[in-house]
A and B are shown apart, each in its own frame.
Chain A
Amino acid sequence: MTINERLKPLALLAPAIALEVALFFVPVSILAIASLTWRDSFFFTPVWTLSNYANIFSNAYAFDFEVTFGLIISAAFLDLILGFPFAYIMTRRIKKYQDVFRAIMLVPLFGELYIAYGFYYLFFPGGPLSFLFASGVEMFRALYSTPAAMIALAIYTFPFSVYNIGISLQGIDRSIEESARCLGAGSIRTFVSVTLPMCVPGIIGAWLVSIGWGLGAFAIPTLMGGAVVAERMLSVEVYSMALLRMDFGMASAIGVILAVIAVIIFYISLKASRGALV
């Protein structure tokens, strides 16, 4: 290839690369650097320390991880339980009104904030469903926030999860299922032994994707989580550490850990569902 030929694609990509480098890779690197400083010393004279990370990996944060991942993983499972039949029906059974349902699937994308707000209104004392929790049952009151938060989170990540499962279902060669039927397997047997195993990568991918997006949820835990969740969700901690406690070092460290976990999870989900695009 001549020099000219090789330059053309790079010239076309240059603005995109420049933008990403300047406004993503540089800030993220700075974040990583800031995570190694003590409190807000990064802005003045940096005091280098590993204590932020030591803190995170110590017992002090074990509960936070538990709360965060507990909520996110259960929401991911809920997505699978609700989402698989949904994806199956959408790809296999529904012919009319397909576009309408597809449009409805876009709605949660509008924003986590509205989901949080809507549920907040529903369940908060004074709201229409709050009577469910006014029943003096202690367990209800203490936990009222968590199940609601979980449902809200599940709704938020629903489109992404369903998309993954759907793609995987669409990729299944129907003639394989038909052969199974011809060989004598009933529809349930076909489903369990043929269809389901072929979707497994997609299901795993969907589960991981829900977790990945859940890590970024912010409005839902803040508005809905109740005392426990709101304060202990890692994403909210990033915010509160930075802007309420002015501990930028700690906030950055949590941010870095969250980012690393999220990237790894998304990367694995990509591999699992073999979503190579380029």
Chain B
Amino acid sequence: MRASSAERVKDVISYTYVLLISGLLLLPFTVILMRSLTVTLPDGSTTFSIKPYFDIIDAFWPKVYLSLSIAITTILIDTAIGVPAAYALVRYNFRGKKTLFTLLNGVWYVPGICYALSLIITYYFLYKWFLGYWGFIAAYTCGFLLLMLMTCIVAFRYLDPCYEESASCLGAGRLTTFFKVTLPMVGPGVSAGILLTFVLSFNEFITALLLNLATRLQTAPVRVYADVTRARVLPSISAEAATLQLISLAVVLIYLKLVGTKYLRGVVLI
């Protein structure tokens, strides 16, 4: 019986440790949430209230819609471009494939601030017509393409070629096979990419900050940053940040409920 009590102890330690770390990871989020729900009354005492969330509706929610719209457009374009590209990279063999992939990877490795700076210089200098909403879309689709690409590559790799071969032998042409067999089977994997792209592009801050000055468009995270540097830690500002986080969390939870963590493994999660 000594063995099982040793196991028990190890389990307790394990779970405690993981819980502590999880607590640490969630700490900033929780703090913001708590701050957003406390209001200081005139007499100096604090109380629980969701008033801050209503205070921000007029000024902040339009920014949220903007961020949402940018995120969704980015997802649509990146999926349309990324899925065929991933298919080509996995199912075909051609010279320079590895080099091409390494180069595409490079986008992800360059720090956000450097990429953002290069963009605004280029926009002013070269792509003058990108100063606006489409400038954002252009920057985001390029920046997040690799994320979509990687998820799709994992999804295609796990797809046994025998299904597509089977479809072909049964008489289906390339297009029919792609839409009726490949896509439905690879869809869940692609959805993981969509989720990650949403979360990251919705909350993206650095590029948005620089583009804000160039395009006069202020996305929600940038608004939060501006407010923080201006007015510090008011409950209303916390409410702004908390809103964004809650939306992100909601999307993640819905996704996990519907699809689970299966397709996120191999890309982000162990």
Contact = CB atoms under 8 A, between A and B. Distances in A.
Touching chains A and B, CB distance < 8 Å = yes
Interface of A: 6, 8-10, 12-13, 15-17, 19-20, 22-24, 26-28, 30-31, 34, 42-43, 82, 85-87, 89-91, 93-94, 98-99, 101-122, 124, 126-128, 152, 155, 158-159, 162-163, 166-167, 169-170, 212, 215-216, 218-219, 223, 235, 238-239, 242-243, 248, 251-252, 255-256, 258-259, 262-263, 265-267, 270, 277-278
B121 A166 contact: no
Contacts of B190: none
A259 B114 contact: yes
B148 to A, nearest CB: 9
Interface string B73-113: 00000001110110111111010011011111111111111
Interface in B7-28: 10-11, 14-15, 17-18, 21-22, 24-28
Contacts of A106: 199, 252, 264, 268-269
Given A9-B94, A10-B88, A243-B213, 8 more contacts: A15-B80, A113-B224, A117-B224, A118-B32, A128-B31, A155-B24, A163-B269, A218-B206
Contact of A163 (B26, B209, B270): B270
A158 to B, nearest CB: 6
B117 interface: yes
Contacts of A242: 117
Contacts of A28: 110, 114-115, 118
B192 to A, nearest CB: 11
A20 B104 contact: yes
B18 A31 contact: no
A114 B245 contact: yes
A219 B115 CA distance: 16
Given A243-B213, A256-B114, A112 B205 contact: yes
B9 to A, nearest CB: 12
A24 B88 contact: no
A219 B270 contact: no
B221 A218 contact: no
Interface stretch (B56-64, B137-145, B158-166): B137-145
A159 B14 contact: no
A85 B17 contact: yes
B112 A107 contact: no
B153 interface: yes
Interface string B117-132: 1110110111000000
